[in-house]
Amino acid sequence: MQAAFRKLDSGGMAGPGKPLPIVAENGRSPAGSRTEKIWVDINGARQGMFIQSRDTAHPVLLFLHGGPGMPEYFLTQRYPTRLEEDFTVVWWDRRGAGLSYDPRLPRETMTVAQSIADTLTVTDYLRQRFGQEKIYLMGHSGGSFIGIQAVAQAPARYHAYIGMAQMTWQIKSEQLAQAYMLEQFKANGDNRMVRRLEKASVALTPPLPPSYARVRDEAMHKLGVGTTRDMCSVITGIFLPSWQCRAYTLGEKINLWRGKLFSHALLWDEMLATDLTQQVTALELPVYFLHGQFDYTCSYALAHAYFEQLQAPLKGFYTFAESAHSPVFEEPERVGQVLREDVVMGTNRLADGEPAKTERHD
């Protein structure tokens, strides 16, 4: 059977848009390190990714960004994760997003099913390229919606699944967020936000009302329950940093935002409506949920309840007490510790109230 992937010309590496290399204390790149910006033909679509590794002999970690069409590599410039110290980490811009945006993409290919198929194909590309039978998969927010379904379909390709800000039933999460924010703004005496949220009730059927969509991100970030605990504005916290990232060319930065709108329009309602707690009830590999205590973008309470009912050979839930939606950017040291000492070692000793269990990932 012919492979569904093909490496393409990396393009742009000698000019603008080149990511910074990994350097050691002596100012030189360590032997075996790698920093790449590449494109691969994935199931007939040109898709881009950044690869970073201090040592490519390390295990591969595929990161699925949220959005549904909002890549996150550019945030590492302001919020270093240091994942590349322990993994060959792959920041893939999914079909229709960022480096992978193309206005000529057939709209009928912009589906959840295709996103899952693409994830499995990218996985196979990485397994083959780096000579690893299995890799690790980390899904963040909207990426967790795709990721948990991908590992459910093909558990043998992965050592473990890591859901950060794990989606559950997103329309219910939005309903809980609207109620929480309304309560908080009433307590704070912010009558303007109270009026806006009172006009923005959320039903359990998509789409989200335009009145809620207009106020949602502003309200979450004002309360510190959005992207990060300290990010008070999407404009200063996400939009401006995306334009300051040297790894994207000017045209790619424009496509970052074009792709966000494109992907959101075609995928968001299906993601809102799907109740993963009913769709994925068991997994055949170790599962780790990493969740910020202050996260209302994807409900902490719903994720914890989902974790309790989800059947898996090994589980670990980790509460990040200083984080909202993005522990990998907010508490990167602890995330790194969890990955090194629990996920890679196949245990859950650091998890919230979990008994110590071990399943080595040899």
pLDDT digits (tens, 9 = 90+) for 237-254: 999 999 999 999 999 999
pLDDT score at 359: 52
Mean pLDDT of the chain: 93
CB count in 10 Å sphere of residue 16: 12
pLDDT bin (cut points 50, 70, 90) of residue 14 is very low
pLDDT score at 8: 65
pLDDT bin (cut points 50, 70, 90) of residue 24 is confident
Q: How far apart are CA 156 and CA 153, in angstroms?
A: 9
Give all domains of the chain, ordered by start, each with its CATH number: 5-170+241-343 (3.40.50.1820), 171-227 (no CATH)
β-strands 135-140, 158-164 pairing: parallel
pLDDT bin (cut points 50, 70, 90) of residue 191 is very high
CB count in 10 Å sphere of residue 131: 9
What mean pLDDT is predicted for residues 178-188? Answer: 97
pLDDT digits (tens, 9 = 90+) for 146-158: 999 999 999 999 9
pLDDT score at 30: 85
- 31 or 263, which is more confident: 263
Give this prediction's pTM: 0.93
pLDDT score at 11: 43
pLDDT digits (tens, 9 = 90+) for 256-295: 999 999 999 999 999 999 999 999 999 999 999 999 999 9
What mean pLDDT is predicted for residues 308-321? Answer: 98
What are the helix (H) ranges across the chain?
112-130, 142-153, 170-188, 191-198, 210-223, 234, 240-244, 250-273, 276-279, 300-309, 327-330, 332-338
- 195 or 354, which is more confident: 195
pLDDT score at 28: 82
